Structure formats: C-alpha cells, structure tokens
Structure 1
Amino acid sequence: MTPHNDFWPGSHFSLLQRDARGWLVPTEAYLRTLLARPELALVQESCAAEIALHEGLVAAPLAPVQPEQLAAVQDDDARENYTVFLRFRDGLLAAGTLEAYYLRLMRSGTVDVPAVFIDAVVQALLRNVLDRGNDALEARAAEMLFRPQRITLQEGQMLAGDRDALDLLHETAGLGEVGRLLRQGGVLQPTAQVQVLTPDNAATYWAESERHHFLLDLTHELTQDLSHGLTLKLTRARSGLKALARVLERWVLHLLGVQVQIEPVHQVNDSAWRWHVGLDVESTAILNDLYQDRPVEAERMQRLVSLFTLTFANPAEMRADVAGKPVYLGLATNAEGLVRIKPQNLLLNLPLATVS
C-alpha cells in the first residue's frame, strides 16, 4: 500500500463501494457524511421536526421521508435544504452509481441540485479514477475539475492556485480566526504559505492534499506571438498542462469508455477546423467566436490559458462527418482571473458516433 492512498479524505472515497464495472456505489456511510454538511447540520434554533428528521436520516440514510415530515420543518431554508438533499439522494439511489447519476443529470439538461453536491460527486469520481496513480501533479491538476482556481502571473510563471484556499490565507494569514482579527487590525500582513508543486516536493502533496495550498505551474516553455487568433506557448514536459491533459484522458475513458489522447498545443492553424469544446464558459465563447470568424478583443484573447488537441484512438467512435479530425479544446479565465472548469463539457460535447 502506497502512502498516498488516503489523499482527498474529504471526498469520502473510502466509504464508497465499487461495482463490477469499477463505478462507485453509494452507501449509507457515504450519505451520512452529506448529512453532516453545514447546510444540513442541526443548530440551536432547529425545531423538533427538523431534529427528528435529521436524527432519523442519520440512523437510516436510505429511509423514505414523507411529505408531511418535510412540511413540519419550520425554517424555510432548512426545509429547502432537506428537500434538495433528498432529491440528490434519491437520484443517486435510482442511478445505482455516482457515475451513472452524474451522466444522467448532465445529459438531462436540467441540473436540479446545487453545485456543492455536483462538485462532491466529481471529486469522488476523480478520486476513483486516480486511485492507482502515483503522480502528484495529476492529482493536483484534477482539483481544477471541482475547485475554482485563481490564475496569476509571477515572474514569468502562470500559476493556478485554489481560490478558496488563497482567499482564506489572505484573510487570516494562515492563523484562523485569530489571524483574521489581527489582519483586520493591521497587525499582520499576508504571508506566503503556498508553494509551487514540483517533482522535488511532490511527495508532500499526498499528506497535505486536503489543504489545497499547492500552486500548479501552467506555464508554457517557449513564448509565441499570437497569430491567426490562436497562438500561445509550447508546453514543458512536466507542466501542469500535461498533467491536466492526462487527467482529462482518464476522465473520458472512465465515464464514456472512449480512449482519447489530449495534448497541449501552441496554436490552432487548421483551415479544416471542424470541432471544438471549451472546458469552461469563457473558452467556449472565445472558440465559438473564432470558429464563426467573429472578432475577439485582445483582452479576451489574453484570457486563454491553453489550447489542446484531442484525438480518438479509434476514429470509428467519432461521428462519420468528423472522423479522423482533431477536436480542439480551450481553457480560459473569466474577467476576474478565475478558471472554473466544467468537466461535463467533455462528456456532453465530444463528437461521438453513439452515446454510451
């Protein structure tokens, strides 16, 4: 057993079971962890009906809940939170696995559960995908699929840092509530308690993965001037972009059963460009505009973090009209420098011959 088997303990992966396909089956223990979330935890103001509902679900997470039990909860927000939880729980149980639930939800076109539950599912799925891996860069890159990232340029490096971890560090200087008070009083200045993940310190990632304090280097190696609207930089061999590409390959294989190869590229200069997928809202809009020959302002173009080519190992698995053609992927920040990857985009928008 390798030391990193317990990374991302907050995913509660150890409480899930695998079916014969290797997909994750929800358990009572896993559902109990969701009931412990702040949105569902009991508070001093909880009424008797809410206490009874909560304690009943903790004792029997799979038990049916009658409408009158929900209606009896006095607090509107608490009642809505339990309604959402039960919708999520029942969806998981009906689908049978987290993977099947995620695919069904995203393909439905109606996402009726909050992002916090979806991100929890994505984290658990990625924990499953990476379970037998030993590459800390890939594990850190996978965090980008369920945790928003701040992109900053520091001394020529393009670095991705966990938004929530960086914001908390800025507010508290790494000293919790005491640090927050001292910072507000001007006693403390923000301290640099984050570090760039490299092969030299990668071994420490596994024990500290729950802190989300490692920066991922997304820097390209050779600078290229933007031309044809889509020129960036060449990637280095051990870049975070390479690690992200490997994670996306495994994501597609695990959920769709389709083998693809994804590589960061320095430009797209393809007169026969046929298909593209944005990994986020911003890159989707930029690629759509470029594909339609609509002008893209320089400021928006500068938000592109990277481009990728995706090729199918078996072109027969592609739609006949684009078989053998590369699929171009984009990754970009919003105006505030945030990257919010939508991992469902790769599952919903690839030109598949059939939907698995």
Structure 2
Amino acid sequence: MQDFWPSSGFSRLQRNPRGWLPPTDDYLRLFLGRPELALLPESCAAEQALHADLQATPVRSVSEDQLLALQDADARESYGLFLRFRDGLLDAGTLEAYYLGLFRSGSISIPPLFIDLLAQAIVRNLLDDVTDAYEVRAAEMLFRPQRISTEDGQVLAGDRDRLDMLNDHGGLGDFGRFLAEAKAPLRSIEMQVLSDSNAPDYWPASERHSFLLDLTHEINNDLSHGLVLTMTRARSGLKALARVLEKWVQHFLGVAVTIRPLQKVDDEAWRWHVGLDIDATALLNDLYEGREVEAERMQRLLSLFRLDFEQPQEMRADVAGKPVYLGLMMNADRVLRLKPQNLLVNLPLRAPV
C-alpha cells in the first residue's frame, strides 16, 4: 500500500460499514485551515473568536449575528459558505451521501472548490489499496482540471493549475517546452510523462501533481483481408481512467460495470450515452440526433468508452443489455474538466421497487 494525497483529509476520516465516509471534527478542521478561512494579521476580533470556536468544536452552531459581526465582507461570505457546506454534510451523514444528493437534487448551493475536495477524499478512499501509479494519477482527473496537448500523435494531460503556475513563474515556458523536455532526467525538469521507469517517484510527489498522463489511444494496424492487429500501449492512461470510473460507479451505486476505451462508436442500435464533461455531453447529443458536427469540435474529442453492466437486470428494461457510450473531450481552450457526477445521475438504472 502507498500513501498519497495527504491534503485530501482521508487520514482524518473512517469508513462506516458500507465503506462510506462520515464527516469528523478533524475533517472539518481541514477546511478551517484553508486559505479561504485561515486567519490573517488583519482579521478582526470577531473573526478570531469565531475561528477559535470552530477549531475547538467544528460542529457548533453559529448565529447570524456572529456572522454579521465579521468586519470583512469576504470573510462573512467564506464562513457562510463553509457553514452551509458543513450543515449539509452533517445532515447527509457521509461525504458520499452529500455528494450524491447534491447532484440528484439539481440544486448546487456550494462552490466548485468544495465539490472537488469532496471528490478527492472519496476517490482517495476507494483507491486506498491501489498500488498502480497510473490509476492514481488518472484519478486526479476527477477533481483537478487538465490541460491537454496533442503532439506528434501523442495526447498528454497535465494538471492545469500546476502548469499555469510554472508558466506564470517563468518555469519552463509554454506547454510545448514541458513536453519537449519530458524525456529529460527527473531532477532537471518540473514535469514528466508518467512511465514505468518513474512510476515509483509518483507517490512522494503525488501532492505536487507534477506528472503528465499519456491518453494516447492504442494503434490499430490493418493487415488487409479483414484482419486488424491492435498495437497495445502497455501503460495507457485511458485504461487507468476506465478502472477508476468502474470503482467510482460501484462505490456509489453498488452496480458492477466494465468500461473500456473506444476509438469510434459503430453501433446502429446506439441507445444511451453519457458525456464525462460538458463538451462531450453536447457533442454526443448532437451525434445521437444526427446533427452535423464541425471538424474542429470532433478533433477535441479525446476518447470514447463503452460501459457495460455486468448484470443487465440492473438497467432500465428498455435498454437492458445495451452498452452505454461515454465521451471525454477538451474544450476550446484545450482544458478538460471531467465531471464524474455525470456517471452517478445519468446511467440508465432500473427504478427502485
């Protein structure tokens, strides 16, 4: 077993019998230490008192008057958002129940940051016994936006915030330079493509989000006479992502599925699809409805996947046994914002009896 993502707060949590994560005081204290709520030299006395009270008892009630006593408007807003998040989390009973309830309700009342932090802790939980660095690196995509580069037929995903920080601070310059230097020894660069040779280095560096992930598809060679030879990429980021998404569905929904990357959908009976991000959802909807799609949009499609239920009776009766097609796509700025919640609310599940 490997330790990774210490800032996720997983070490402050414990599983219930279902394997889900009830919130703890220590987990809530993690949020109080974040920059949005941490005290500043100029914090007023009322804010210092509120922060100390919440540090001592994170679940204590806070009155409207206590919030209004904060002199800084940004501080009032930040504490208000935290308390809304905290109360919803406590009412739901587990991180998973709160996360799932948010998206099933259709009303998101907390900032995206809180959603990403929830997803990170949940994914950290379901990957606790994983020793494959590719799978854990792929799981970062569920809560951290990625910048995508396509160079010489290779598709690489890098942590957007990490790359932007390096670029803003002079670092190695633009993304092309990161890719050009990605084959250099680890000490001489900030970013490397994850490979078998450097995979052991991922674990102590997991918090820095400094590894690029290869999302290039397998290569099919046509041998004529109807034969196709698949040149398998030994360590595919797409396959690793598929394994993570399988675990994600099983963990939340309790249904077993298999997911595998596809290069195209060749199915005249295509019945159901789910976009893994906003752009893929729109593209798949247009393709399904037979609308013409611009070449530029199609080129931003990174991968398709086929999802199959291991038990077709767990699907809606009208699509039982049919595959579900998934899409993964970068936006016009070459950023991928994966939305794993789409798999939780849009799969064709059988209605509860």
Q: TM-score with structure 2 length normalisation?
A: 0.90
- Provide the residue aligned with 2:93 in structure 1: 96
1:270 aligns with 2:267: yes
- Write out per-residue CA displacement over residues 14-55 of structure 1, whole angstroms, 9 at most, x where no aligned residue: 001111111111111111110011111111222221111111
| Match for residue 292 of structure 2 among 289, 292, 295 | 295
Cα deviation, residue 171, structure 1: 2.0
SS at match of 2:202: helix
For the structure 1 residues 306 and 234, does the alpha-carbon distance in structure 2 shift closer, same or farther, using more than 3 Å as the test? Answer: farther
| Match for residue 75 of structure 1 among 72, 75, 84 | 72
| Match for residue 310 of structure 1 among 288, 307, 311 | 307
1:246 aligns with 2:243: yes
> Structure 2: which 5+ residue stretches go unaligned?
173-187, 223-229
Q: How many residues align?
A: 331
For the structure 1 residues 327 and 130, does the alpha-carbon distance in structure 2 shift closer, same or farther, using more than 3 Å as the test? Answer: same
Matches within 5 A, 1:1-356: 2=1, 4=2, 6-174=3-171, 192-222=189-219, 236-354=233-351
- Write out per-residue CA displacement over residues 175-219 of structure 1, whole angstroms, 9 at most, x where no aligned residue: 9xxxxxxxxxxxxxxx84210111221111111100101000001
SS at match of 2:246: helix
Letter of the 2:131 partner, please give it: N
SS at match of 2:39: coil
CA RMSD of aligned residues (A): 1.8
Contact 1:235 1:264 (C-alpha < 8 Å) held by counterparts: no
For the structure 1 residues 28 and 47, does the alpha-carbon distance in structure 2 shift closer, same or farther, using more than 3 Å as the test? Answer: same
SS at match of 1:86: helix
Alignment partners' CA distance in 2, 1:289 and 1:151: 23
- Write out per-residue CA displacement over residues 205-262 of structure 1, whole angstroms, 9 at most, x where no aligned residue: 111100101000001132699xxxxxxx986342100000000000000010010000
- Write out per-residue CA displacement over residues 316-349 of structure 1, whole angstroms, 9 at most, x where no aligned residue: 0000000000000000000000000001000000
For the structure 1 residues 68 and 234, does the alpha-carbon distance in structure 2 shift closer, same or farther, using more than 3 Å as the test? Answer: farther
SS at match of 1:19: coil
Letter of the 1:167 partner, please give it: D
For the structure 1 residues 73 and 235, does the alpha-carbon distance in structure 2 shift closer, same or farther, using more than 3 Å as the test? Answer: farther
SS at match of 2:18: coil
Contact 1:142 1:244 (C-alpha < 8 Å) held by counterparts: yes
For the structure 1 residues 15 and 37, does the alpha-carbon distance in structure 2 shift closer, same or farther, using more than 3 Å as the test? Answer: same
Alignment partners' CA distance in 2, 1:277 and 1:234: 27
SS at match of 2:47: helix
- Write out per-residue CA displacement over residues 87-132 of structure 1, whole angstroms, 9 at most, x where no aligned residue: 1001111111101110111111011000111100000000001001
For the structure 1 residues 68 and 195, does the alpha-carbon distance in structure 2 shift closer, same or farther, using more than 3 Å as the test? Answer: same
| Structure 1 consecutive aligned stretches of length 4 or more whose deviation exceeds 6 Å | none
Cα deviation, residue 143, structure 1: 0.3
Letter of the 1:48 partner, please give it: A
Alignment partners' CA distance in 2, 1:38 and 1:234: 47
Letter of the 1:122 partner, please give it: A
Q: TM-score with structure 1 length normalisation?
A: 0.90
Letter of the 1:108 partner, please give it: S
Alignment partners' CA distance in 2, 1:277 and 1:24: 27
